[in-house]
Structure 1
């Protein structure tokens, strides 16, 4: 099966939180026999900040926007499936409309949303939003989070279907590593500074640092350089994906803070949850509906609804217990939350509604 993808970036995680998700999904779809072409625009200095790694499972096309879009669409029309991801960052509205022109008896088109709460909030608030008319035209709608609430909202907007394909663990990429004194701390949080995240970072991370002056904190991610931080917080800037294991294994605990829109809809574990799981790190997460769908609170993941509760967990969870919680989370992830399993789910959906003449090829691929 030949799949043509429009996404933000496969090769760079710079200002691109979806990179880990893309890599996990498409590496494992390739392992199932799919031919992947991934087209990404040359924007936001991502090509100058590529992550080391082997991305040969996909053919990467870096394009200029909007000059190269006509050529890319002609190339995509020769595929079995064309996928337009949300949040590419350049000409999104144009691509959302024009990828539909690739449809044919052979070629189907999917919209794969990596920020469904934001997408849907925009569409629902703007009756004339051009994407609203596109939704019923897609053969598939996929999301990387959101669960039943997001599925229902997409169906109400006329989607033919909506399939959550959640973040997961790629054990070859995220695994236990030797700790580094450079990243030693009591609690680490890594996330770029975004409008609907900053307030929650203040509430859950910076306030925790103020309440626990005896503890050391590390903040990773872009955009925090001019933010006033408590004296016990050290900002380390962009954390390349190759450093995630060392960072997660060097901290006593790792913090997950969902963006406000993701927390509101629930069922949205971000990539950092599974990256921490792969490293066997003890993770504290803010509370959101559906956590228990993925990991068992208290035994595999710690849940807090305020800075006071995070401070309590820091002060009352001894290192031995923290290690046991992290190991239990890793064991569960390796059993039930692998990208290989997510890719198999996606392939089963492709196969179930494939045109008759394609089904034989799809069966051979899996």
Structure 2
């Protein structure tokens, strides 16, 4: 199968989770024997912070603007499937061009589904608009559950399928390194996550100066004040994530407000930490128990008291149980197999006369 992907970024993980998601998924997809071309819009902040300029699993090429996509018309037209990702610059126009150019299956991969739906509700069509959703043969969503039915019934998607993030378990695995922190957090600054981060990490740090904490990620305002026992790392490239988790006695997962509201929206950090067998403390949202079993594979916390109770208890078994769940259900290999199967099945639903997909029922 020849797959062309137009995504936000593959080359740089700076300030976004798209790159690590695409790397894991497409690396495993290529390992199944498929050919992948990734087209990335040139952006200064990614160009200056590239940590994967020459991937060994696909061809990576750049384009400067919409007009420059014409250079890739032949490849897009001849591809078995073409995927457009969320947050692609000029994504609506890119989507229209793909739908008019591609002869194979067209799909939208929404790595930000709850955010996307919130933007559509307020008329913000930054990278997706309601009128182009029916033109994609399949809508792959980072969010499962009731959202899938909404995408089909309200927005007219011929087929909406969950395609959660995943993890490369060859890179993310337990490591024998000294423990540096009692609780870590890895994530780009987000205003809607900050109150939860304050409640579940900064407040425990204030109460327990004898414990060690760390927050890694870019874009935190200079005006924020950190307790003395909270270390700051401005940016942590993916190559250093496994060692970061391995050096953490626990790690924290904090979910964006839109994703909590939608439910069934697991972050890639859950799977990365789980693959490293690092015990996870997380905020609550509907559907998390379909990913990890609370109390057995993950600790759910509402406030500082819950976090400190977990830090004072034994975490033996929780991290390894999470790893077993990741290996069984959330590895990059499993996601790539799902992508392959879904693309093959949706291809059989395409009309031989119109080339389009009518509302498709999955058995």
Kept in 2, the 8 Å contact 1:102–1:109? The answer is no
Kept in 1, the 8 Å contact 2:137–2:346? The answer is no
Which structure carries more helix by proportion?
A: 1
Write out aligned runs for 1:210-289 (5 A): 210-224=206-220, 226=222, 227-289=224-286
Counterpart of 2:20 in structure 1 is: 20
Kept in 2, the 8 Å contact 1:224–1:235? The answer is no
Kept in 2, the 8 Å contact 1:154–1:162? The answer is yes
Which of 158, 163, 166 lines up with 2:164 in the alignment? 166
CA separation of 1:160 and 1:233: change in aligned 2, threshold 3 A? same
Kept in 1, the 8 Å contact 2:28–2:333? The answer is yes
Kindly provide the CA deviation profile for residues 240-289 of structure 1, in whole angstroms up to 9, marking residues without a partner as x: 10111111011111111111111221111111111111111111111111
Kept in 2, the 8 Å contact 1:222–1:238? The answer is yes
Which of 84, 106, 109 lines up with 1:109 in the alignment? 106
**Secondary structure at 2:347 match in 1:** coil
- Whether 1:339 and 2:337 are equivalent positions in the alignment is no
Which of 179, 182, 185 lines up with 1:186 in the alignment? 182
Kindly provide the CA deviation profile for residues 292-329 of structure 1, in whole angstroms up to 9, marking residues without a partner as x: 111111111111122321122112x23xxx24211111
CA separation of 1:303 and 1:54: change in aligned 2, threshold 3 A? farther
Kindly provide the CA deviation profile for residues 208-253 of structure 1, in whole angstroms up to 9, marking residues without a partner as x: 3223332111000001251221222111111110111111011111
Mapped partners of 1:161, 1:307: distance in 2: 42
Q: List structure 1 runs of 4+ shifted beyond 6 angstroms.
A: 127-130
Between stretches 270-279 and 299-308, larger displacement belongs to: 299-308
CA separation of 1:231 and 1:307: change in aligned 2, threshold 3 A? same
Kept in 2, the 8 Å contact 1:82–1:102? The answer is no
Mapped partners of 2:106, 2:266: distance in 1: 26
Kept in 1, the 8 Å contact 2:66–2:94? The answer is no
Aligned length: 349
Counterpart of 1:95 in structure 2 is: 94
CA separation of 1:128 and 1:61: change in aligned 2, threshold 3 A? closer
Mapped partners of 2:171, 2:54: distance in 1: 11
Distance apart, 1:73 and its partner CA: 4.1
Write out aligned runs for 1:190-209 (5 A): 190-209=186-205
Mapped partners of 1:154, 1:161: distance in 2: 8
**Secondary structure at 1:109 match in 2:** strand
Distance apart, 1:32 and its partner CA: 1.7
Distance apart, 1:168 and its partner CA: 2.3
Distance apart, 1:197 and its partner CA: 2.3
TM-score (norm 2): 0.90
Distance apart, 1:44 and its partner CA: 4.3
Mapped partners of 2:77, 2:176: distance in 1: 46
Counterpart of 1:300 in structure 2 is: 297
Gaps of 5+ in 1: 358-366
TM-score (norm 1): 0.89
Gaps of 5+ in 2: 351-363
